[in-house]
Amino acid sequence: MGARNRREPCRRCALPLSRSRFLQGSQDNVIQAFAFYLFATIVIASGALTIVSRNPVHSVLWLILAFFNAAGLMLLIGAEFIAMLLVIVYVGAVAVLFLFVVMMLDIDFAELRAGFTRYLPFGLLIAVVLLCEMIFAVGVWNFADIGPDTRMGTIDPDMPNIEAIGRALYDRYLLVFEGAGIVLLVAMVGAIVLTHRERGGVRPQNISKQIKRRPEDATRNTQPEVGKGVEL
């Protein structure tokens, strides 16, 4: 289960494979730092452009860019599964939904943005609350002088990210996982209840009935005499 053949040295390969040498030396940290600042800057800029854009479709596209760079950030800390999942689920599913809605609804953005100053104090309040929560979440660790090793569980450096998540999720967090399933079920049922409308008077195709039809029921061989017709 989970054979890991990432670091095989290559002798006569056409494409470079063994790159563990790359993790030595200061060059690699420079690349990582550069990548981090690049991704982080683009995430923040895209996020800002999302709310500032006048065109709602442009907003969604900036959001997609933000998701991509967030996935890049995930890669930098080694959470490759989360990174791929961000792209598959967020960019591939959620943003598509956003795009569908925004494209079809023809939102009058100017009207929406007119209420900006009215809601500004409330928005600022929520932003401050979020900021405090984030400061508390991190500051508590720092205040109690808890080192990074005790903050998170021990990471097995040889285990791929997917396996590590799997072992945690289906072992310790089993009930939370089941709860997530219930949330998904409620979301599905809710979406259907809200959007489904009965369309009367439609005759859908009954595929099984069509397939069950036998030639004997559909056709009939006759031998009409010359000059005589066939009774249908």
Partner 1 sequence: MTEFFQSLGMSFEWAWGVATIAGILLIALPLMLAVAMIIYADRKIWAAIALRKGPNVVGPFGLLQSFADGLKVFLQETIIPSAANRGLFLIAPIITFTVALIAWAVIPFGEDMVLANINVGLLYVLAASSLGVYGIVIAGWASNSKYPFYSALRGAAQMVSYEVSIGFVLLSVVMFAGSFNMQTIITAQQGHVFGFINGFAFNPLLFPMAVVFFISALAETARAPFDLTEAESELVAGYQTEYSSMSFALYWLGEYANVILMCALNAVLFWGGWLPPVDWAPLYVVPGIFWLFLKILIFFFIFSWVKATVPRYRYDQLMRLGWKVFLPLSLFWVVLVSGYLMLTRYGGVL
Partner 2 sequence: MPETIAVDLAEYLPILLFLGIALLLSTAFVILPMIVARFTGASKPYANKLTEYECGFPAFEDSRGQFDVRFYLVAILFIIFDLEVAFLFPWAVTVFDMGWVAWGAMMVFLAELAIGLAYAWKVGALEWE
Residues at the interface with partner 1 (CB under 8 A):
1-6, 8, 10-17, 19, 21-22, 27, 57, 61, 64, 80-81, 84-85, 87-88, 91-93, 96, 99-100, 103-104, 160-162, 204-205, 207
| Site membership for partner 2, residue 2 (CB under 8 A) | yes
User: Considering only residues 110, 144, 182, 211, which one is a binding residue for partner 2 as defined by CB under 8 A?
Assistant: 182
- Which of 3, 146 has the CB closer to partner 1? 3
Closest separation between CB of residue 152 and partner 1, Å? 20
d(CA 70, CA 46): 11
Among 53, 76, 87, 109, binds partner 2 (CB under 8 A): 76
Say how many Å lie between the first and final Cα of the chain, rounded: 67
- In the bound complex, what is the minimum distance in angstroms from residue 127's beta carbon to partner 2? 27
Distance CA(18)–CA(11), nearest Å, equals 9
CA distances from 217 to 33, 167, 190, 210 (A): 74, 58, 44, 12
Please give the radius of gyration of the chain, using alpha carbons only, rounded to the nearest integer: 29
Q: For partner 2, how many residues bind (rule: CB under 8 A)? A: 67
Query: Candidates 109-117, 182-190, 208-216, 220-228 — which segment interacts with partner 2 by CB under 8 A?
Result: 182-190
Shortest spacing between CB 114 and partner 1, in angstroms: 24
Residue span 142-181 as binding mask against partner 2, x where in contact by CB under 8 A, dash where not:
-------------xxxxxxxxxxxxx-xxx--x--xx-xx
Chain CA centroid to CA 167, Å: 21
Angle (deg, nearest 10), helices 56-76 and 95-105: 170
Query: 151-190 burial string, b = 16+ CB within 10 Å, else e?
Result: eeeeeeeeeebeebbeeeeeeeeeeeeeeeeeeeeeeeee
In angstroms, the CA 189 to CA 109 distance is: 30
- Residue nearer to partner 2 on the CB measure, 114 or 184: 184
Report the helix count and the strand count for the chain, using DSSP H and E.
Answer: 11, 0
Q: Which of residues 10-49 bind partner 2 (CB under 8 A)?
A: 19-20, 22-23, 28-29, 31-32
- Determine the Cα–Cα distance for residues 203 and 160; give it in Å rounded to an integer: 52
Q: Which residues bind partner 2 (CB under 8 A)?
A: 1-2, 6-7, 19-20, 22-23, 28-29, 31-32, 75-78, 80-81, 85, 88-89, 92-94, 96-97, 100-101, 104-106, 155-167, 169-171, 174, 177-178, 180-182, 184-185, 187-189, 191-192, 195-199, 202, 204
